[in-house]
């Protein structure tokens, strides 16, 4: 801006000497336009515009990644993702996080990787303070899993007692704006009992030590549009954050390193290293990303998983169209008795409810007719304990909404 002012003064003197004020007036128009463009500025996140998450339900959508381009880096970008297709809506339930600060909430739908492709239920706990928004740790409920798919013995199992760990991981730092960068180093242990007959283990204490290294950088700013009920949301001011996460796992039986032959049975080795690559578009508000992109490598060029926010998104055309479905399951998780499902319909065409198991097999099917609230009751007495997925699709087979159903015995 200083350079523009200096150049303007020099040209003013020269044009006065030549009596060519008309040219100077044209140049003033150029200066005004330049100053107007430079007035655009990046968001600055602080405690005044990042409020943190609250207890209750939120909604997010998984989009098809076909043809989706990564968001461009740089200043004053326009990221228009209003044309994303084949999205599936999901519900997240946040509850007060026992054992953490009063402002912390736990996401009851999350899992944590333990070893190889094995995951456990572990509620991610989020909080916000004067320094920023962060992952505060996790709460792990009582659970048990068969390890027979790895060992060939269905009696082999892992046993988890209720536990909590605290391990701060910054997600948004204050103040945060274009060019901000920060790193996080963290460590926590996952401890459980393991019974594997072939290795002589009978509820033997086993631990996975997780060291992680995270690098975040704000690489762009601008406005982002996502799908809404009316084709496109309004443009939201956003920051583009690039993240690289490296996790190094070490494994112990009791206090000794786990033997290599045992780790080989689980498809891992000591100091197993995993690197993940993500980008996030954040707007002011709760601190939930407006969009997230997961990449297979460090080129950050073609995402293989894309999500976008389904809550508090204002359409560019208000009061037209409608939210296609409101979908709830209760109780969830369920241990006995029937489960109640409510679907709100504004279409008079037949929709379908399908329940599939973790293998992708359809285990229940129900037609949904009528309009308004439609209540369905499913008897789960003959179903095995585990994780199921309920999908509502329209008369064309398009999935309108999906959610998880946990059945325990």
Domains detected in the chain: 2-38 (no CATH), 56-309 (no CATH), 326-407 (2.60.40.1930)
pLDDT, tens only, 21-43: 444 444 444 443 333 333 358 88
> Do 339 and 329 meet the contact criterion of CB atoms below 8 Å apart?
yes
Quick count: other Cβ atoms within 10 Å of Cβ 138? 24
**Adjacent-strand bridge partners of 145:** 158
pTM here is 0.69
> Closest by alpha carbon to 91, among 322, 283, 375, 341?
341
Under the banding of pLDDT at 50, 70 and 90, the label for residue 66 is confident
Q: Rounded to whole angstroms, how far apart are CA atoms 120 and 161?
A: 12
- Alpha-carbon distance 204 to 219, whole Å? 47
pLDDT tens across 246-260, in order? 999 999 999 999 999
The answer to whether 142 touches 158, Cβ cutoff 8 Å, is no
**Cβ pair 337, 377 in contact under 8 A:** no
Burial 310-326 (b: 16+ CB within 10 A, else e): beebebeeeeeeeebbe
Q: What are the E-state strand segments in 226-349?
A: 236-253, 256-257, 272-282, 291-295, 305-309, 326-330, 338-345
Is the pLDDT at 8 greater than 90? The verdict is: no
Name the band, by pLDDT with cuts 50, 70 and 90, for residue 11.
Answer: very low
Whether 290 and 309 have beta carbons less than 8 Å apart is answered as yes
Whose CA is closest to 367, among 383, 353, 377? 353
């Amino acid at each position: 801006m200083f350079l523009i002012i200096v150049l303007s003064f020099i040209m003013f003197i020269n044009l006065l000497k030549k009596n060519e004020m008309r040219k100077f007036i044209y140049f003033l128009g150029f200066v005004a336009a330049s100053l107007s463009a430079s007035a655009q500025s990046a968001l600055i996140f602080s405690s005044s515009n990042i409020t943190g998450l609250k207890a209750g339900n939120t909604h997010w959508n998984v989009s098809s990644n076909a043809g989706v381009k990564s968001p461009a880096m740089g200043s004053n970008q326009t990221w228009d993702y209003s044309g994303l297709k084949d999205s599936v809506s999901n519900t997240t339930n946040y509850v007060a996080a026992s054992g953490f600060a009063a402002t912390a909430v736990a996401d009851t739908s999350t899992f944590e990787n333990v070893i190889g492709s094995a995951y456990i239920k572990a509620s991610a706990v989020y909080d916000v303070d004067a320094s920023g928004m962060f992952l505060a740790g996790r709460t792990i409920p009582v659970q048990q899993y068969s390890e027979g798919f790895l060992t060939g013995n269905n009696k082999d199992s892992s046993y988890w007692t209720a536990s909590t760990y605290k391990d701060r991981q910054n997600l948004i730092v204050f103040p945060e704006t274009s060019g901000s960068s920060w790193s996080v180093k963290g460590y926590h242990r996952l401890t459980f009992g393991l019974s594997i007959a072939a290795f002589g283990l009978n509820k033997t204490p086993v631990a996975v030590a997780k060291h992680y290294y995270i690098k975040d950088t704000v690489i762009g700013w601008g406005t982002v549009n996502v799908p809404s009920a009316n084709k496109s949301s309004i443009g939201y001011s956003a920051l583009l954050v690039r993240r690289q996460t490296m996790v190094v796992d070490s494994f112990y039986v009791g206090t000794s390193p786990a033997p290599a032959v045992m780790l080989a049975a689980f498809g891992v080795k000591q100091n197993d290293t995993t690197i993940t690559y993500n980008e996030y578009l954040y707007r002011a508000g709760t601190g939930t990303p407006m969009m997230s992109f997961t990449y297979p490598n460090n080129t950050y060029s073609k995402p293989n998983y894309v999500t976008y926010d389904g809550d508090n998104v204002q359409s560019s055309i208000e009061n037209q169209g409608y939210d296609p479905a409101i979908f709830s399951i209760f109780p969830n998780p369920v241990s006995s008795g029937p489960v109640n499902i409510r679907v709100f319909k504004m279409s008079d065409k037949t929709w379908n409810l399908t329940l599939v198991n973790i293998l992708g097999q359809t285990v229940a099917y129900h037609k949904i007719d009528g309009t308004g609230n439609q209540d369905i009751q499913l008897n789960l007495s003959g179903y095995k304990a585990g994780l199921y997925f309920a999908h509502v699709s329209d008369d064309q087979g398009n999935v309108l909404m999906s959610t998880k159903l946990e059945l325990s015995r």
